[in-house]
Structure formats: structure tokens, C-alpha cells
A and B are shown apart, each in its own frame.
Chain A
Amino acid sequence: MDTQRSPHTKVFIQRDFSEGIPVKFQTRYPPELEGRVDRATYESTINTINEMFAEAESTGSRTYCESCFACLTAYLALMCMDTFYEKTLKKVRRYLEEQNQRIYMSRGVMIIDPAERGLRILEIDISSIDTPQR
């Protein structure tokens, strides 16, 4: 329970609505990360997440087929299968877990899965102690 004593800074990355409702996070580099994570690493992470969401939100042949199939079964099929979007959410979660393990945790930074915050924001926790938390 020592972590309770260590003060955390939380950075909230807001959604970027410039292209409409689809989920997209702002790619601006938060100054709080200065000295911990370099700009290129951070931006590549954010861009990867954004690409994953863009794919899920796009109306490609995959979503068309899925929706038509669900419609033909009177949407009963949706009860027993994961939609493409849900698979994407799992993919984002796995990706962020991997990134946290590989890069961010050792630098005292943790990116919280945006699904935990309702896809409204991307929360980044920065620990003020420099020791890795692993």
C-alpha cells in the first residue's frame, strides 16, 4: 500500500472531435511527460490507438457484412458473438498493456485503457517516484 503515499499526477488526453463523433484522441504531447517519455514514442502509441479506433468506426465491408448478418437473424446473433468494435476494444487493451509493460511502466508512466473511462478521455498516470513500479 506504499503506492498510496506516492503522489500521482494524472494527465487527461481529451478527444479530438475535428472529424466528427468517431473516437480519436488528441495527439498533442503533454508537457508532463517531459523527461520521461520522448515525443516520438508517445505519438506513435497515440497514433496506433487512433488508427485502431478509426478502423473500428469506419464503414467497411466487414461492418456491412456483420450488420447485415445480424439484421437477418433479427439481431439475435449479436447475443452470441463479439462485434468488430468489441474486438477492437480488446485489441486496444492488449496493445496498451503491452506498451505499458515494455515502455511506460519502467519510466513511472502508465496509460489507462480508455474503455475504463468510457472512451471520453485517455488517462495517463505519472508517478512522482522514479523507481519502476513493476
Chain B
Amino acid sequence: MRDTSPYYTVVSTTVSQVTGDGNDNQEVQIKMAKSVRRWEVFPGKNKFYCNGRIMMARQAGVFYLTCALIIITSGLFFAFDCVYLAQNVTPAIPAIGGALFIFVMATLLRTSFSDPGVIPRASAEEAAEMERQNEVANPNSPGTYRPPPRTKEVVIKGQVIKLKYCFTCKIFRPPRASHCSLCDNCVERFDHHCPWVGNCVGRRNYRYFYLFILSLSLLCIYIFACVLTNLILRAQDDNFLTAMKDSPASVIEALVCFFSIWSVVGLAGFHSYLTASELTTNEDIKGTFTAKRGQDNFNPFSKGSLLKNCLGVLCGPNPPSLLDRRGMVVPEPEPVSHVSVVQAEKDANAVSAHHEYYGSTQKTNNMGTNTVADRSVVVVNEESSPKKRDMISYQSPDGSINNKVPSVNGSGVIPAQNCIGKKNHIWDMTLNQLDYLGHRVNIYPASHGSVNYYRDPQEAPTRGELYVHSAGYPRSDDHQKYVLSRGVSADFPSVNY
């Protein structure tokens, strides 16, 4: 083995913190000049309209059905029954109906279009710090990486609440928050995901949701009563069948109302109970605060009396959205700067979540499963300043750049041999090669769930400090830093082959 190989730096492109190179900064600046707003790079599964002002779940088909049912039924009511009733009974009937209808639609649209209280995901740095704290709290295995405990406990008014770690959002979920699998977001005071309103129901829109079903049940009962009145009044002149023939619209309305009343009123009743006892549907179904065997269990979030709870839900503070959807994306060490990058980041998250979930104890074989790393890892020679594209640039051994992943076959470990005696060439590296390199120089002593390697001048030293000691590797060189996403970092001045 000769010591001719130049310094190799492992660079990831999943995190687009491009710094340290003038060209790269310019590239990013040009990209940013197109002014990407945050909603465009939002990692959850949501739809946005009106330049980020409106936020909904992706599948909103049932929401349009809800809208259509309400609008068509009310439209028929105003067009046919109201005309007759206003003439024969009182003009107050369409007035009250109109007010109710406007309120129902306003609350429905507000529920559907607003942010339910999504908790923004943690930045890479924050997640790493969290990991570190966990490892510190769990120091029984200093050399090896052991999956840290994934729950935290807090005491709220004497009640112990477990905070679970969310692998997607990389945060410990606050009390009462839950991850919505349909929207892929952690939502504060998560109630449920409601397909009928096409959105999650959470802390920010529960009030509107509750008022929506309350007013909708009133509207339903109101229309049903008016339609019956209409039919009965008409039947007084003639028999009931001719009355139905006279106004066929009333029959349709009566049928729609008759079938929806039960579910809507039932739901309104259920949510009235929840509101009065300051519970969420989620907690009620899971029975979080129901007394268990021999255990005193109570709801620490209840304000004491039914009235206070209702007032708290209906008239409490209006928490603002935490997402800043219409803010501009700034090329910061936040993994939000370009759509495709974030997509890659999402994949990476998914993969690493998977790995962590099943507990990586020793080196997991990532070949074949961790395609993200395959796609996004590129190895760059230190001497020719790292050309980092926005996403991926592969450079074949002869120096030509292409966008395709070069074939893995036949090059498993060969690049390492290729570089003997050669200077100043860049080659790409797929995961098994990285693995190979990793074992040759022992850069990762223990397991590594996902493999994201990045070299970031701003971040590396911090992480180096944080992790080098725990991993038992001395810091020697300042600009050669190998940082792995699992938090293991090692420095080595040269790699020998």
C-alpha cells in the first residue's frame, strides 16, 4: 500500500448546505433567485393553493363531496321551499337559513384550509443534538452505538405523560401531539384526520371543526323541519302525493337531511362531550386518561369544570401557524432549499427511520435497500475543489461528468485500486464502496442506520467536537473531517491503500 492517494472527502448531497466554495454559493444563489417559498418545499403530504395561503391534505375527494352535498341541498332549499315558505309563513325563514348556511360554509372552509397545528420538523443539527443528548443519557455502552431510548417522560400536574420520538419529524412529540400518517405531519393536540373536511383536525382548527359540525347539525335539522312544513302546508290544500309532485326538490332535500341528520347530530354530540371534558378523539379512543387497573388516571389538561373547558376550546387563544408557509427559503443550514433536494431528504428520512425503527445494532447491510445513499453520495478529491451540484454529479474515472449512476457491477472495490498511483482524479462511489472504505479505515465503529455523509465547514467542527470524543477518535486535522449522519465522525490525514 502506497501513500500516494490524495485526501478523500465524503460528500453528501442530500443536505444542500453548500458552503466553502464560491462557485457553489453562486449556484445556490441563482437557484434561490427564483424565490422559492417554504410551502413549495414542505416535507409533509399536503396540498397548497393560493401561493401557500391554503393548506389541505392531499386526498380531498371526500371534501368536495361534503361541499357538494351542503351546497346542493341548501341551494334546492333556498330555490324552492324558501320561496313558498317566505310567502306563506314568514320571511324570517330564508334569513335564518341564509345565516346558518354562511356560518356552516365559513367554518367548513376554515377547517379545511387552515394549518391544523403542524409542528415543523427538526433541522439536521437539532436532530443530531437530540441524538447526542440521548446517548449521554444512556452511557452504558460507550464504544458502541446503541439505539437511544425513544421515549421521554414529563410530569404534568402529577400525571406522567410519555413523549414519543417521531422518526419522521425527528422530534419528541409534545404532549397530545400525534403523527398523522395521511398528511405525514406531527400535529399539535391531534384530534383525528377527517376526510370529510379534507384536513387533519388539530389544535388550530378544532374550534372551527366543532362549530362546523354543530352548525351543520342545526342546519340539517332546520332544513328538514322547513321541508316538512312546506310539504304539510301544501298537503293541506291537496293530498300528500300531489304536494310531493308539486315540489319534487323538497323530497330530495328531505331524504338527504333524513340520512345525514343521524350521523351529524351524533358526531356533534360526541364532540360536545369531548369539548366539555377537554379530550381529543385520539385520547378518547386510546383511553389515555381512563382509569386503569389500580391506577389513578385523570386528564391533566382539563380546566376543572365543563363550562371552563368549553370556553377554553371555543374562546381560547388563537395559536398561530408555526410553518411560515409563505416565507422565503433561505440557503441556510436548513435542509430546505430545493424541491428535489428535499425530496431526497424525505427519502433519506424514510429510510433512516426504517432502519432505526427496527433497531440497528450492528452494521446493517444497506445494499439494495438504501438507494438514497447510492444516489446521493459522491466522493470528491480534496485537491480539486469539490464540485457540488445541487443534486448529484457523478464523475467517471476518466473525468467526464454524467448524471447517470455509473454501473456498480465490476467496480465494487475496484476504484480503490484505480486510484493507486493516480493523482487528482475524482470518482464516484456507491454504497458498498463506501462500506469498503469505511472498514478499511474504520470510520464507523458501530452501526449506521442511514448513510448520509456530508462535509460542511460550518457544521463539521461542531459535530466533530460532539462526537469525536464519544466515538473515541482524536481530532487532528481541521479540514479533513468525515462526518456521518449517525453522528460518528473521524479524522484521518490520509487513506492508505
What is A's interface to B at a CB cutoff of 8 Å? Answer: 1, 4-5, 7-10, 12, 15, 17-21, 56-59, 63-64, 66-68, 70-71, 74-76, 78, 83-86, 89, 115-121, 123
A86 to chain B, nearest CB (A): 5
B155 pairs with A83, CB closer than 8 A: no
Does B122 belong to the interface (CB within 8 Å)?
Answer: yes
What is B's interface to A at a CB cutoff of 8 Å? Answer: 19-20, 25, 102-103, 106-107, 110, 119-120, 122-123, 125-126, 129-130, 154-157, 161, 163, 171, 174-176, 188-189, 203, 207-208, 211, 300-301, 311-312, 314-320, 322-324, 457-458, 461-462, 465
A18 pairs with B457, CB closer than 8 A: no
B132 to chain A, nearest CB (A): 10
CB-CB under 8 A from A121, the residues of chain B are 126
A83 pairs with B106, CB closer than 8 A: no
B318 pairs with A67, CB closer than 8 A: yes
A117 pairs with B462, CB closer than 8 A: no
B315 pairs with A75, CB closer than 8 A: no
A68 to chain B, nearest CB (A): 6
CB-CB under 8 A from B208, the residues of chain A are 75
Q: In chain B, what residue has the closest Cβ to A73?
A: B106
CB-CB under 8 A from A67, the residues of chain B are 207, 314-316, 318
A64 pairs with B315, CB closer than 8 A: yes
Q: In chain A, what residue has the closest Cβ to B123?
A: A117
The residue that B317 contacts in the complex, of A12, A17, A58, with Cβ under 8 A, is A58
Given A8-B458, A20-B157, A59-B316, 10 further pairs, Cβ under 8 A: A12-B126, A17-B174, A56-B317, A63-B315, A63-B317, A63-B318, A67-B315, A83-B318, A85-B318, A120-B174
The residue that A57 contacts in the complex, of B20, B161, B188, B317, with Cβ under 8 A, is B317
Q: In chain A, what residue has the closest Cβ to B121?
A: A118
A20 pairs with B175, CB closer than 8 A: yes
CB-CB under 8 A from B189, the residues of chain A are 21
The residue that B320 contacts in the complex, of A8, A15, A83, with Cβ under 8 A, is A83
B322 pairs with A21, CB closer than 8 A: no
The residue that A15 contacts in the complex, of B155, B174, B319, with Cβ under 8 A, is B174
B106 pairs with A119, CB closer than 8 A: no
A34 to chain B, nearest CB (A): 16
The residue that B301 contacts in the complex, of A21, A63, A66, A86, with Cβ under 8 A, is A21
CB-CB under 8 A from A4, the residues of chain B are 19-20, 457-458
A84 to chain B, nearest CB (A): 7
Tell me the complex Cα distance, A41–B122, Å.
28
The residue that B106 contacts in the complex, of A1, A66, A74, with Cβ under 8 A, is A74
* 9 pairs of A and B residues whose beta carbons are closest in the complex: A118-B120, A7-B461, A74-B106, A67-B315, A118-B322, A83-B318, A17-B154, A64-B315, A63-B317
Knowing A21-B188, A117-B126 touch, does A78 contact B320 (C-beta < 8 A)? no
A8 pairs with B107, CB closer than 8 A: no
Q: In chain A, what residue has the closest Cβ to B463?
A: A7
CB-CB under 8 A from B107, the residues of chain A are 74-75
For this complex, 14 residue pairs linking A to B, each with C-beta atoms less than 8 Å apart, are: A12-B129, A17-B175, A18-B154, A19-B157, A21-B174, A57-B319, A64-B315, A67-B207, A67-B315, A71-B211, A75-B110, A83-B318, A83-B320, A121-B126
Tell me the complex Cα distance, A106–B107, Å.
49
Tell me the complex Cα distance, A89–B322, Å.
11
A55 to chain B, nearest CB (A): 10
Tell me the complex Cα distance, A119–B204, Å.
15
B188 to chain A, nearest CB (A): 7
B246 to chain A, nearest CB (A): 34
CB-CB under 8 A from B174, the residues of chain A are 15, 17, 21, 120
A113 to chain B, nearest CB (A): 11
CB-CB under 8 A from A83, the residues of chain B are 317-318, 320
A21 pairs with B176, CB closer than 8 A: yes
Knowing A4-B20, A118-B119 touch, does A10 contact B462 (C-beta < 8 A)? yes
Tell me the complex Cα distance, A80–B304, Å.
34
B448 to chain A, nearest CB (A): 23
B317 pairs with A59, CB closer than 8 A: yes
B279 to chain A, nearest CB (A): 14
CB-CB under 8 A from B102, the residues of chain A are 74
Pick from A78, A115, A121 the residue with the most CB of B within 10 Å.
A121
Tell me the complex Cα distance, A53–B119, Å.
17
Pick from A15, A64, A85, A118 the residue with the most CB of B within 10 Å.
A118
The residue that A85 contacts in the complex, of B125, B157, B320, B461, with Cβ under 8 A, is B320
CB-CB under 8 A from A64, the residues of chain B are 311, 315
The residue that A17 contacts in the complex, of B130, B161, B311, B457, with Cβ under 8 A, is B161
Tell me the complex Cα distance, A76–B203, Å.
19
B120 pairs with A117, CB closer than 8 A: yes
Tell me the complex Cα distance, A64–B317, Å.
8
Knowing A58-B317, A121-B126 touch, does A7 contact B462 (C-beta < 8 A)? yes
The residue that A66 contacts in the complex, of B120, B171, B318, B320, with Cβ under 8 A, is B318
Q: In chain B, what residue has the closest Cβ to A116?
A: B324
Q: In chain A, what residue has the closest Cβ to B464?
A: A7
The residue that B318 contacts in the complex, of A58, A74, A78, A120, with Cβ under 8 A, is A78
B116 to chain A, nearest CB (A): 14
Q: In chain A, what residue has the closest Cβ to B172?
A: A14
B104 to chain A, nearest CB (A): 9
Tell me the complex Cα distance, A64–B119, Å.
25
A120 pairs with B458, CB closer than 8 A: no
A63 pairs with B171, CB closer than 8 A: no
Tell me the complex Cα distance, A17–B130, Å.
17
CB-CB under 8 A from B161, the residues of chain A are 17
